[in-house]
Amino acid sequence: MTLDEIIKSRRDTRHFTNDTIPDEVIQKALQAGHCAPSVGLTDATKYYLIKSAEIKKAVKELFLDYDHKASNLTDDELQKTQYKALKLEAIEEAPLGLVICYDRSVLNNFTIGTVGSNEAIKFSAVCAAQNIWLSLTEQGYSMGWVSIINYYQFKLLLGLPENIEPLGYFCVGKPATNYNNQPMLQQLNWKQKQENPHVEEILFSTPVSVPDSLRVTTQLHTDDSAISEALQQEIDNKTKPLGSLGVLESLAKQIGIVFQTLEPKITKPNIVVFAADHGIANHGVSAYPQDVTRQMVNNFLEGGAAINVFCRQNNIELTIVDAGVNYDFPTNINLVSAKIGKGTQSFLHGPAMSQTELDLCFVKGAAIVNSIFETGCNCIGFGEMGIGNTSTASILMSILLQLPIEDCIGKGTGANDEKLIQKQNILKNALGNYRGSDDLQSKLAYFGGFEIMQMTGGMLQAKENNMLILVDGFICTVAFLIAYKMNPSVKENAIFCHSSAEKGHQKILDYLNVQPLLQLDLRLGEGTGCAVAFPIIQSAVCFLNEMASFESAGISKK
C-alpha cells in the first residue's frame, strides 16, 4: 500500500480476531513510534505492554464504570439507546494491550520546545501513537483507543508513578472487519464525518475591549454618614459594654455600610482560586517544579486540598479557575477555563505578557466574578495557586510601593536560605533589565501573572457589584493593591482575612492602613485565610442581626 492508502485505511478498531501478534510486528510498530517527533529530543514517550487477563479484566471494569456515567450525560433517550449499543472497546478480546504514556519529569529541567507549552511532550506522545497505528495498519494489524476511563484510578491500577501520564489504553490485534472502509461510528450512523477538513485564514484579530469600570483611577465615594451613624447606634445598643466585641463591631459596621442596611446578610459565599504558571519559575526561584501547579489544580478538583476542607467545613462554594496553567485540562471537569496562555513568559529578559493579554486578564476576571454574583452571591473570597507567583508578586509590590526588592521577597512556599538569595538576585536582575515605559499598565504587563491580574479584574468587578471582598495572603493582597491603585474605593468592600508569614505582606497591610482578622502564620495561599476567617465574619453579622438590645431585653444601660 502507498502511504496515502495506509492513512485512509487506518481505523479505530473494536473487533479483533484471536490471532496472536508476532513479536516482530510489535517491535516494528513501536520503533515507528520511537521515530515520531520528540520535543527537545526528550524521549519522554513510554510504552507498557499488557497481556495479563487479570489486568485486562480490571481495566475493563474501569471502562464499564465510566461508560455508564457517559451514557447518563444525555437526556435524549434515543441517543442513550444508540450509545449503549455501540461497541467502544475490545479490552479483553484483543490479544495485546498497549499503554502509551509521556513522562512529565523531563519538565523539571529546561527543555527546548516546551517554553509556552509544557503540553508539547504530550503532543509528541500523540504523534508516536499515530505512527504506531499507521505501522500496524501497513502490517495488516490495527489498534483501538480507549479513553473512557478514570485516569487517576487507571494509573493506580497499573502502578504508574505520578510523573507518568497515560494517553489511554490501546487494544492491539488483527482486525476482524474493515468497517466498510469508513469509521465505525459513521458506519453505525452515529455521526457523519465531514468530507473535507475545516480550514480558514485569519486576516485580522479583534482587540480586547476593557470596560471603563476596570480602568477607574479616581476615588469613587458615596456619603455613608447616615447609615454609619445608624449602625453605630444599633451596635452600641446591644446588651454589652460599649466596644466589648472589639473587631467584630467594626466588622459588623463595615458590612452594614457595604450593604446599606442595619440587617446585613451574607448569601451564597464563594471563594475563587485562580491558578496559573509563571515563566520566571524556569529560573529556579521556587522550591517546587512548575508542574506542581497542574498537580495542585487536580487536587482542588478532587477535593483534597486545604481550601476544599475549609470550604466544606464552613459551607462555602469553591470555584477553581484555570487562568493560565501550563497544561490542557479535560473539558468535562468542574473547572472554569479562563486560560490566557500556558503560563507567562519569563520577565528576566522580556515581558511576561502583552498589553492585550493584560486587558484580557481584567476582562476574564471580571466576567468570572460577575457570573458568580448572578447566582446570588454577595461575598467573594480570592485565592491563588501558581509556582513562582511569590516572585511575581514581590516584583509588583516593589514597583507599586517603590520599595527595594529585598524588602519584598520572602520564602514563598518553602525556599531555603540559599534559594532565597538566588531568588533575590534573579528578581533584582529582572528589575534592572526593564527598559519599558514608566506607566503602571506597562509594568503590570511586563512583570504580571495571569492569575494575579485576573484577581485584580475580579476584585474591581466585585466592587462594581457591591460585594464583600475577602482578601487572602501576600499574593492576593498584591492583586488587591493593584486594584486599589486603579480604584481606591475598592477598600471600602475589602476584609483582610489574615497577616501572612510571607515577608512583604504586613508591609502592604500597613500601607493600606488595614487590620487583618487573624495572625496564624499562614503562607499556603489557595484562599485558605478567607475560608478560615469566614466564621468570624459570620459572627459579626449574627450578633448585629440577632443579639438583643437593652430595650428588648429589659436591661438597664447603667
In three-state secondary structure terms, 22 is: coil
Burial degree of 442 (CB within 10 A; 0-12, 13-18, 19+): middle
Sequence-distant (≥ 6) Cβ neighbours of residue 437 within 8 angstroms:
443
Distance CA 202, CA 6 (A): 32
Distance CA 107, CA 223 (A): 55
| Look-up of cell digits 479483533 | 16
Of 522, 546, 540, 455, the closest CA to residue 310 belongs to 522
> What's the longest Cα–Cα distance across the chain?
102
Distance CA 370, CA 391 (A): 29
Residue 416: CB atoms within 10 A of its CB come to 10
Known catalytic residue at 526:
yes
Pairing of strands 494-496, 379-385: unpaired
Q: How many helices (H) and strands (E) does the chain have?
A: 20, 10
Of 476, 433, 430, 474, the closest CA to residue 453 belongs to 476
Handedness of CA 42, 285, 457, 396 (dihedral sign): negative
Distance CA 242, CA 246 (A): 9
* End-to-end C-alpha distance for the chain, whole angstroms: 102
Three-state DSSP string of 406-453:
HHCCCCCCCCCHHHHHHHHHHHHHHHHHCCCCCCHHHHHHHHCCHHHH
Q: Return the ∠ at Cα 295 (arms to 291 and 297), rounded to 5°.
A: 115
Residue 10: CB atoms within 10 A of its CB come to 17
User: Which of 24, 201, 526, 551 does the annotation list as catalytic?
Assistant: 526
Sequence-distant (≥ 6) Cβ neighbours of residue 19 within 8 angstroms:
95, 173, 174
Q: What is the DSSP string of 149-206?
A: S-HHHHHHHHT--TTEEEEEEEEEE-BS--GGGS-HHHHTTS-PPPSS---------P
Phi, psi of 54 (to 5 degrees): -65, -45
Q: Supply the angle between the helices 53-71 and 77-85 in degrees, to the nearest 10.
A: 170
Distance CA 235, CA 547 (A): 9
In three-state secondary structure terms, 11 is: coil
DSSP class of residue 345 equals: P
Q: Return the ∠ at Cα 305 (arms to 303 and 306), rounded to 5°.
A: 125
| Look-up of cell digits 467594626 | 250
All cell numbers assigned to 398: 516593589
As annotated, the active-site residues are 526
